[in-house]
Each structure stands twice: as C-alpha cells, then as structure tokens.
A and B are shown apart, each in its own frame.
Chain A
Amino acid sequence: MIRPRVLIPLLLVGVALLAQPVYAHGFGERYDLPVPLGYYVVGAGVAVALSFVVVGLFVRAGSGASDYPRYNLLKHGPARAILTSPLLIVPIKLASLFLLGLLIFAGFFGDTDPSDNLAPTFIWIIWWVGMGFFVALVGNLWALVNPWAALYEGAEWLYRRFSPDGSLSLNERYPEGWGMWPAAVTFFCFAWVENVYSENDLPARISVMVVAYSLLTLGGMVYFGKHTWLRNCEGFSVVFGFLSRFSPIEVRTVSPEVCADCDDGCLDEDGRCIDCYQCFEASAVEPWTDEDEPARPPASPQDGPPRELSIRPYAVSLARPERVDSSMLAVVILLLATVTFDGFSATSAWVHVQNFAADVSPGLNNPILNSVTIANSLGLLLFPFVFYAVYLAFSHLMARMVRNTMPAEALARVFVYSLIPIALAYNIAHFLPLLLVSGQRIIPLASDPFGWGWDLFGTALYNINIGVLGARTVWFLSVAVIVVGHMVAVYLAHRIAMRTFDERRMAIASQYPMLLLMVLYTMVSLWIIGQPIVE
C-alpha cells in the first residue's frame, strides 16, 4: 500500500502538474464527440414544434382519466406461481448479497488500479448507470435485488427461527415531520461523492463507503422497520423508486385490509395502492388460491387476486393523483438538479468557475478539500436551490394563469413529476455511450475481478470496442431521446392539468408557463450535450 509520505507528495506534484483542473466525474473514460450545432438546432426546433402540437391536440381531445390500461401478469395461476415463487426470488436475493460481498472484497483486497478492479466499473457504470436505466425503462428491479433489504430479510428469517413472535426491528415510530428528508440527505451525499470527490474511483475508498452505508442502512432498518426506512431514508430506493414510475411494470395491491395496515398511507388520491412494496409483500398470503382452477376474470376487485404485477404504458404513473409533500418535492428537484449538474460540470463554462475559485482560494491541496472540490461542492449545493427557485417562479406564473385558484407551492408539488422524463432523457442521452463503451470493461473484469491474473470465463483479455456506436448514431440518439423525453413531459403535464382543474380552459392556461419551463429545461440539456467535454 502506498505510504502517506510518498502518496501526498506525489499527489501534490500531480495536482500541481496538471495543465487543466481535474475533477471527479463518476468513473470511466469517454470518447464521444459533442453533438454538432446542426443537430442541436434541429432537435430544439422539433421539440418546440411538437410541444405546441401536443397542446393543440389536447385542446380538442383532453383526457382527465387517471387510470390507465394494464395487464396483470399474476392473473394466471402458472405465471403467478413462477413469478412469486421463493425458488426464483430467494436465489436472486442471495446472488445480490454475494455480489455486494464480492465488491467489498474486491475494493479492499483487489488491484488498486481502478481499471483492473471490479468495484469501480461495476458500481459506477453497471449499477449506478445500468440500474438507473433498467428501473426507468423496464421496472423497479432494485426493489427486488436491494442487497441490504435481502440481508435484513435473511437476518429476520433467522431471528424468527428462535423467537417466532418477535420482530427483528425495534419498529420505532418514524418522526412525523421527517418525510423523505433523510433520503434527500443520503442522495445528496452520494451525488457529492459522484461529482466532487476526486478519489471516488479508488477501490479501497469505494469499499469503505459501501461498508459505511451498509451499516447505516441496516441500522436504520432495524430501528424504524425495513419498509419505513427504505421508503423514506434509503436514498437509492427512493430515487430508483421515482425513476421507476416511468417504467412499464408496476405492482399493485387491491386489498383495503392490507393497505390499512401500511405505515405509509400508500393510497393515492383515487384510493389505489400502486408500487407500495410493503402492501405487496403483506398481501402475499392468499387463502383462497386454487392454482389448478382455470383463470376467470374476477367479478370485482375483492374477488380477484389481492396483488397485481402488471404491465402498463410508459410514463402514465407519473401523472397519478398523489399527495406530494415538500420532502418528496425536494428529492425530485435534487434528482433533476444533480443529473443536470453532472453534465454541466463537464463543460468549459464550468471550468471558468473552477478557475475563478482556484484564483481566490490558494493553498488547500488535499484530495477532499482543494479549490476544485470546493467549487464543485458549492455548485452541487447551489444547483438544487437554483432549480427550485426557477421552478417556483414558473409555478407562480401558473398560479397567475389560473387566477390563483391554487397557490404556487401546491401547483409546484402537483406538477413536479412531469419533469422527470426530461431528466431521464438527458441521463440516457448522456450515459448510454458510457454504458456501452466503458461498460464493456465488465467483460474482462468478470473473469478477473480482483486484478490477480485470473481468467474465470476466458474473457480476461477482452479489449473493449470503442467503435461500437458510430459518432453519428450517438448524436442522433442523444438528440432523439431528449426530444422524446420532452414530449412525454409535456404530455404528462397536460394529463395532470386536466385532472387538477375542472375548467378545461383553465387547465390549458396553466400549461403555458409549464411548457416554457420544459422548453428551457430541454434546451439546457441539448446545450450540455453540445459542449466539448472538459476532462
């Protein structure tokens, strides 16, 4: 291991030697060219034009319905038996737990070079980017494979063997005003590590952070109860949960008795319990099931299975009538702001800010606190507030347009989910090349996870193919994804407006400020991907 006396001078020399400011930006080298101006202009134009088309179509058609078509995969006995079978679920959870252990081991005992160690590539690219994409585009896989939940469930199962009536958790009452604020804090800490901390690619540091966070999460679950902690305080469960509202798979519980027991008050304003994993787990006991019986459509919800695992259209779950409190608003704003900051901090505009900070703050030179990390920390802290201020300003405009029948803060909360597709689209546009290029490193790393010269699967010498996506393909996809995200956002905002306001005229009027905000947000996203990336 490198002794401090050698490391610190090397680092000092290194930081001083670098011609341009260095900063941490997740992990993984990028080779993409910035999107040329032509693409950017055409994309922006199409986004704006299609927005007006959406408005125009909705003026005539209009749809205030909050429910949506869906297909329940658990309707038929055989499918239900397979999908809910412990034989499927328990091995998946064990595998996830094994992976967590493997990563921690790799971080502490594997090669110290980030490129030759499984932990940085898996965590920053496969998990943070890959899982983020998966939960948004397919379904909330994280709810199933969360290793900390799996660990807790295993511990609880063991505990119940000795004390059948007891509960592993202390089940302390979760304080009233806390809401999702703890999740906002944990997610902000993660965003800081991702965007600011310059040693976030060092395997040993990663393992320390993973162990610390595991202890915090397990302790929290024991103290407050598994679902209460995961739903309110575990940053990743919360953020992946928000992203998965876009996805086409949901779980639903149609059993009022079960939902009455739920800690969360999980019912939305239409009385539906959607994507509440506590109720879904609790409703697993089905006394009436007869798996040999042929499937029949139930006469009423109470006659049917109390739980559903359904396929639904994309994005519609973001427009459901739900109570959004200020802590939830904060987490969503934080998510949007950090995604945008991630991209913005790689632009030359931000480098000017960093250079300014370097000029006014001499001297400090350690890996956690130096002029670059201070500038980035301040930026990361400021961005959510700026985002919130801008969003609130537009909410005030919306309130004005509806003649103050609803206050601006309430409007802000009602509409905030409709902005998620724009952030998601930017995320996909920005990270897909990274996932497909640098993500290929997982192939050699799977054979040699610790950098010890192994070759478990014969792929240790695999060379990543940088040319897997041509430059033009990347440009087109980036702009197309952002345009589609924008359109979905505009569509969602309209759906929300239609169900929020009784008068159709008012609903349309409320959308003009929202439309302007979304166009601006999309322009910022397009501008960022058009900037040359500063290393």
Chain B
Amino acid sequence: MNARRALLGLLVMALGTMAIFAAACGGGGEPEQRSFDLKLADNVLQPDRIVVNHEDTVTLEIEAHQAGELHLHGYDITADVEASQVHEMEFVASLEGRFIMTLHPEFASLFQSGILEIGESFTYTIPDTMMGTHIPYHSHLQSELTGSVMVSREDGQEGTIEVRITDEGMHPHMVSAAPGATVRWTNESSALQTVHAGSPAEHGHGPEDTGPGDEIQIGVLEVHPR
C-alpha cells in the first residue's frame, strides 16, 4: 500500500511538472500581421507550407497560373482563382492546428468544341503552361464518355495524337501528350458529340459531388499556439 501511494505521488508530481512545462513553454507576444506571396501553377503551390501563430492576421497573395477553386480546410474558406490573376485571401488564424489547402482544378475554360457531326474532328494544341497536368474531358452530349490527356515533356507524344470517340468510350482513353502537341478527336460514334475540357461534374451534369479525384492537396497551413 505504501509503495502504491508513493508511486502515485511520484506520478502526480511528474505530470504536474510536465504540465507546468507545457504552460510555461508559451511563446507569448502580440498577434501579428503576416503576409505571404504564393504561386499556384501546375497543381503545385509554392511555398506549400505556411506557419503562423494563433490569432495572427494572415494575408495570402496567390498568383495563379491555372483556374480552379481553392479550399482551406478547417477554416472552410474557399476562393475561386483564375489563370493569370492574383487573388488575395485574408483571415484571422483563430483556430490552432494543421489545416490542409486543396485545389479543385477547373479545366472547363481550356477547350470546347462545337457540335461534332459523325466523322467531324476537333483539334486542340497543348500550351506549355499545362505541363505536368492531367486534363480530363468529356462529351457534353453523352457525359459518360470521358477521357484524359496527360501532359508530360518526357513521356508525351509529339505531333498529332488521334483520339476516336466511339459509342463505348474514347479510344485511347488516356493519352500522353507533350506540350506543343495537338490532340485530334474524331467522332466515330453513332450520335452527335462534343469535346469539353473538364470533368462532367464541373459542368453541372454527371454526379453531384465532385468526388475524391477532383481535389488535390497543394499545401498546408500550420497555426501554432502563441
């Protein structure tokens, strides 16, 4: 019984010491104005880690080279960004913790064919700025026909890449293109088709929620206790 009591006493002392250490180990100081310049391109945010203290006022100046919707988890702040624009996000870091920042990339503005009759083709030349991205696309008139273009300098094909639109799907379903290459879609199905960049959800048809595939983690915000 004595042993047990002594043990408990020691444990309480040890935990008490740790608690005092924890409480005393505060940085203290006044909340500050913190400002960060970020660049968003090719689904990458630079810098991708932002560290501030609790109750700081944070301003993020985001220079975007692609379009999409940014989402700061935890704080639940969303911001639509457009390519070649600087967007500002300002908030008070009232929540301590580690919050991821994600991007729902928007490709809809990239290319959009008109209505393709059977046998008609549509071409799109891939700009250098899209390097390293996957561009999903779909047929607006038959939204289950989808495919994607992976833009890669090393693995991508050059020249003209043929894609056939058939009743079953896009053939080939995924192509790898180098920047500067041209993708040509030909309608070989039995109905009218189009080629629209972006996933069906972006255009309001297809599944309601954009699904896990459309959200990319690009960075993290750390709010440390003061």
Contacts and interface: CB of A to CB of B under 8 A. Distances in A.
Contacts of B218: 19
Nearest 9 pairs of A and B residues by beta carbon: A14-B213, A61-B3, A31-B97, A471-B96, A476-B22, A57-B3, A9-B146, A471-B225, A5-B144
Contacts of A34: 98
Interface of A: 2-3, 5-7, 9-20, 22, 29-34, 38-39, 42-43, 46, 49-50, 53-54, 57-58, 60-61, 63, 112-113, 466-467, 470-472, 475-476, 479-480, 483-484, 487, 491, 532-533, 535
A484 B43 CA distance: 44
Contacts of B148: 9, 12-13, 16
Contact of A13 (B94, B100, B134): B134
A112 B209 contact: yes
B18 A467 contact: no
Contacts of A14: 211-214
Given A31-B98, A31-B99, A112-B209, A5 B150 contact: no
A359 to B, nearest CB: 15
A13 to B, nearest CB: 5
16 contacts: A2-B211, A5-B146, A9-B136, A9-B147, A9-B173, A12-B213, A38-B25, A46-B17, A57-B3, A467-B95, A471-B225, A476-B22, A483-B15, A487-B11, A532-B98, A533-B98
Interface string B187-226: 0000000000001100000110101111011100011110
B210 to A, nearest CB: 9
B19 interface: yes
Given A33-B224, A39-B22, 5 more contacts: A43-B18, A46-B18, A57-B6, A61-B2, A472-B23
A63 B200 contact: no
B96 A491 contact: no
A19 B217 contact: yes
A240 B15 CA distance: 28
A391 to B, nearest CB: 25
A290 to B, nearest CB: 37
B97 A33 contact: yes
Interface residues of B, number: 57
Contact of A466 (B19, B25, B97): B97
A484 B54 CA distance: 29
A17 B22 contact: no
A533 B147 CA distance: 33
B87 interface: no
A50 B150 CA distance: 58
B83 interface: no
A12 B146 CA distance: 11
A120 B174 CA distance: 33
B144 A6 contact: yes
Given A13-B134, A533-B98, A6 B22 contact: no
Contacts of A16: 134, 148, 150
A103 B159 CA distance: 54
A63 to B, nearest CB: 7
A17 B132 CA distance: 10
B217 A6 contact: no
Nearest to A116: B209
A15 B213 CA distance: 6
A31 B173 contact: no
Contacts of B222: 33
A57 B1 CA distance: 11
Given A14-B214, A16-B150, A58-B3, A50 B95 contact: no
A32 B98 contact: yes
Contacts of A60: 3
B193 to A, nearest CB: 15
A466 B74 contact: yes
A6 B213 CA distance: 12
Contacts of A12: 148, 174, 213
A191 to B, nearest CB: 22
A17 B68 CA distance: 14
Contact of A113 (B22, B43, B98, B209): B209
Given A17-B43, A50-B14, A480-B15, A6 B214 contact: no
B97 A11 contact: no
Interface string B9-27: 0110011011101110110
Given A9-B136, A10-B211, A476 B18 contact: yes
Contacts of A9: 136, 146-148, 173
